[in-house]
Amino acid sequence: MLVFLLLVGGPLRAQNRVVDKQMHHLRAGEEREWDFFRTEPKKQLTLRFNAQENTSELTLSLRQKDVKLAWNVYLNGVDLGKLDADENARIRYLSIPPHTLKTGENTLLIAYTKPFGKTDRVPDDMLVGEITLLDRPLKQMMQEATLTVTITERETNRLIPARITIVDDQNNLQPVAVVPDPQLAVRTGCVYTGNGKASFRLPEGTYRLYATRGFEYGVDSFSVAVKAGQTVSRNFVISREVPTKGWVASDTHIHTFTYSRHGDATVAERLLTLAGEGIELPIFTDHNILVDVRPTVRAMGMDTVFTPVMGNEFTTEVGHFNVFPVADNSVVPDHHVKDWKSASRNLANSGRVIILNHARDVHYNFRPFGPERHVSVAGLDLEGWTLPAQAMEVLNSSSQQKDIGQLYRDWFGVLNRGHWLTPVGSSDSHDVMQYLVGQGRTYIKCRDDKPGRIDVNDAVDQFLAGKVMVSFGLMPEITVNKTYGPGDVVPAAGEVTVAVRVLGPSWSKADRVSLYANGQKIREVRITQTGKKGVKWEGSWTIPATKQDMYLVAIAEGPDQMLPFWPIPKPYSRTSSEWHPQLIGSSGVVWIDADGDGMKTSAYAYAKRVIDNTNGDNQKLFRQLGEFDQAVSTQAASILNEQNRLVDAGLLESLKKAPSPVKTGFQEFIDSWKVSEMARKNR
């Protein structure tokens, strides 16, 4: 391809010259990564253009999107550097050393570089283009204009920690430069401030800036056109919109580059990001190491902003588990285990809370809830292992699933099996900007009036009791009979009234809310109105009396608003090229003690009782199962399968005459069992 350099006007200087106006689809690997890439990809991009030799440093500007792997940029064989390994749309600047350009034809090459001796996570579909030669050195260009901003909380008129997102006129994250400041954490398109003040520099041009502070706050923004030598000062004002009084915002899964050695956030930067996202109870969980950040918190003056908790991501070949709170002077548990029994033994003297992390991700060729070892619909572990956890992540914002409801269904299956797990939302962030800390989060019911002095023991008690809500842009608050919330047991009382409020900031949108009983959707409302500030929808349902215990969970969902300040990451363990990003949030479990025995009786317990009581009488079995919901029938099918009775011709014949919920429950298990059988054969 021969490209003649063009003079361009508008926001670009007269001597800036366009190498290529187009965006190009490149691919590392053979398989399509994502369905929204429809064009035929190239393996590399080669551009040839005429120019004059440069006797001084110049700058190459380009736009990139969806870059995951190492793509190098070469000019006439000189390696200018790599594209940023980041999915977010962004501008990338690269310095061109003197005498790199030559008079006559020049060649620009962008190509994937496979790491020596390693296997990359191919495929990688990405876009790159809109390439321009800028007529001045990179350092000079990054000092051209200055923006000085403050962020004020409307309700208190005080400066507050926040994040500023900077994009160009096409919503690409814009690189900025700052004088080193201990109260700032800076990446392309992002400035976190710990004290509500920031000053940064950038090239002349037109930009849009956003100020945010996580889920509970609204957004303020402005557009600005700046010239070289100009300084612009602005004040952002943001409001606390989401009513979360009595609930503490926690991220139970956070990392630092300092100790985990991947990602890019130092400890100091992590503290700034936590403050800027409004996390009040952060759990520090670097891999197989104990990190006490309290001295740094005090030194940075953040001991009134949040209460840090020392934890550990117990990282093993049989899954990752977050453990907290870990006492001072504790010993790091041995992570060299081969099964969950050994993991449980080694964690016996660690923190009170053990969370199963990202149960659908593959690490060390092991996937805790993969179909090759787990039947999701029945919560059945095919190896016979007992899960060493009291909680599980149903939402990990850095480790999305193709189906955002999959981990919820996994959780429902385990609950129906009789294992009580607290649901958890987390970020698993290792970075300043690429994966936002606190994007996925858990709200714990406890005092929140003094964020720097949260009672950790009380928070842990409430967490283990299930008094939580999960948020990823939305959060449904559930109340039963005007009294009972997540973690509570409702005494037998006939029919119950379930009230739900879907909470969220003005910048998020909800389009549906659903109520689940024992993992089955029993109510759903489409949300078409915008609702008032902080509350997207509120309403109630009356649930008829049953003889069977059940747990209720509300789940709210909404579309991705494609906001530059709240990008949704793509799946980490990709299983399909299909991907539909969305928002989600859930309540914790409210238990209905319908049979009045004062116990939480699971679907599995009911199923086992029916099977034991019917003594092989198939007609009686299905008649009695018909008195329960579908979840009990699914568990019954699982038990009968373990007893080798699910292949019995007489049982299958009787099943044809069973009530519809019974047949559906059995078929649900049979279908899942077949998926697991196939996965086990192919592993």
CA nearest 311: which of 328, 299, 323?
Answer: 323
What is the per-residue pLDDT across 387-397, written as a single tens digit (0 to 9) for each?
999 999 999 99
Instruction: Indicate the pTM of the whole model.
Output: 0.95
Give me the sign of the Cα torsion angle 622, 624, 628, 633: negative
Q: What are the helix and strand counts (H, E) for the chain?
A: 12, 40
Whole-number percent of the chain with pLDDT over 90 = 91
The pLDDT score that the predictor gives to residue 114 is 85
Would you say residue 57 lies in a domain? yes
Residue matched to tokens 């309403």:
539
Residue matched to tokens 């003197």:
98
Tell me the mean pLDDT in the region 300-305: 97
Tell me the mean pLDDT in the region 263-285: 98
Strands 145-153 and 231-238: parallel
pLDDT over 70 at 305, yes or no: yes
Tell me the mean pLDDT in the region 121-145: 95
> How many CB atoms neighbour CB 285 within 10 A?
33
Residue 492: pLDDT band with limits 50, 70, 90: confident
pLDDT over 50 at 11, yes or no: no
The pLDDT score that the predictor gives to residue 63 is 99
Same domain? For 575 and 650 the reply is: no
Among 592, 625, 659, the domain boundary falls at: 592
CA nearest 431: which of 198, 68, 187?
Answer: 187
Same domain? For 421 and 548 the reply is: yes
Same domain? For 432 and 528 the reply is: yes
Residue 604: pLDDT band with limits 50, 70, 90: very high
CA nearest 253: which of 324, 306, 302?
Answer: 324
Looking at residue 311, which CATH number applies to its domain?
Answer: 3.20.20.140
Would you say residue 244 lies in a domain? no
Alpha helices in 381-476 (DSSP H): 406-417, 456-464
Same domain? For 58 and 13 the reply is: yes
Identify whether the C-beta of residue 176 lies closer than 8 Å to the C-beta of residue 183.
no
Tell me the mean pLDDT in the region 403-415: 98
Same domain? For 217 and 256 the reply is: no
Enter the DSSP assignment of 349.
T
**Gap between the Cα atoms of 309 and 479, Å rounded:** 29
Same domain? For 441 and 482 the reply is: yes
Same domain? For 74 and 117 the reply is: yes
Would you say residue 41 lies in a domain? yes
Same domain? For 149 and 131 the reply is: no
Tell me the mean pLDDT in the region 271-296: 98
Same domain? For 125 and 150 the reply is: no
Would you say residue 243 lies in a domain? no
Q: What is the mean pLDDT of the chain?
A: 95
Tell me the mean pLDDT in the region 601-609: 98
What is the per-residue pLDDT across 373-389, written as a single tens digit (0 to 9) for each?
999 999 999 999 999 99
Least confident of 35-39, 334-338, 556-560, 655-659: 35-39
Among 569, 592, 615, the domain boundary falls at: 592
Same domain? For 130 and 173 the reply is: no
The pLDDT score that the predictor gives to residue 4 is 32
The pLDDT score that the predictor gives to residue 532 is 78
What is the per-residue pLDDT across 54-84, written as a single tens digit (0 to 9) for each?
999 999 999 999 999 999 999 999 999 999 9
Least confident of 167-181, 199-213, 365-379, 570-584: 570-584
Would you say residue 324 lies in a domain? yes
Tell me the mean pLDDT in the region 636-663: 96
Identify whether the C-beta of residue 283 lies closer than 8 Å to the C-beta of residue 254.
yes
What is the per-residue pLDDT across 443-481, written as a single tens digit (0 to 9) for each?
999 999 999 999 999 999 999 999 999 999 999 999 999
**Gap between the Cα atoms of 424 and 283, Å rounded:** 13
Tokens for 60, please give them: 């190459």
Could you tell me what percentage of the chain is helix, strand and coil, using 3-state DSSP and rounding each to the nearest 5? 20, 35, 45
Specify the amino acid at residue 650.
Answer: G
**Gap between the Cα atoms of 480 and 498, Å rounded:** 5
pLDDT over 50 at 12, yes or no: no
**Gap between the Cα atoms of 222 and 234, Å rounded:** 9
> How many CB atoms neighbour CB 526 within 10 A?
9
Count how many domains the chain has: 4
Residue 663: pLDDT band with limits 50, 70, 90: very high
Same domain? For 573 and 623 the reply is: no
The pLDDT score that the predictor gives to residue 596 is 93
**Gap between the Cα atoms of 392 and 394, Å rounded:** 6
Tell me the mean pLDDT in the region 428-437: 97
The pLDDT score that the predictor gives to residue 45 is 98
* Residue 382 domain boundaries: 249-592
Would you say residue 597 lies in a domain? no
The pLDDT score that the predictor gives to residue 14 is 39
**Gap between the Cα atoms of 217 and 208, Å rounded:** 19
* 553: β partners: 516
Give φ, ψ of 183 to 5 degrees: -100, 10
Would you say residue 611 lies in a domain? yes
Whole-number percent of the chain with pLDDT over 70 = 98
CB contact set of 644 (below 8 Å; sequence gap of 6+): none
Same domain? For 347 and 490 the reply is: yes
Residue 666: pLDDT band with limits 50, 70, 90: very high
The pLDDT score that the predictor gives to residue 493 is 74
CB contact set of 467 (below 8 Å; sequence gap of 6+): 444, 445, 485, 486, 487, 488, 588
Enter the DSSP assignment of 343.
H
The pLDDT score that the predictor gives to residue 5 is 38
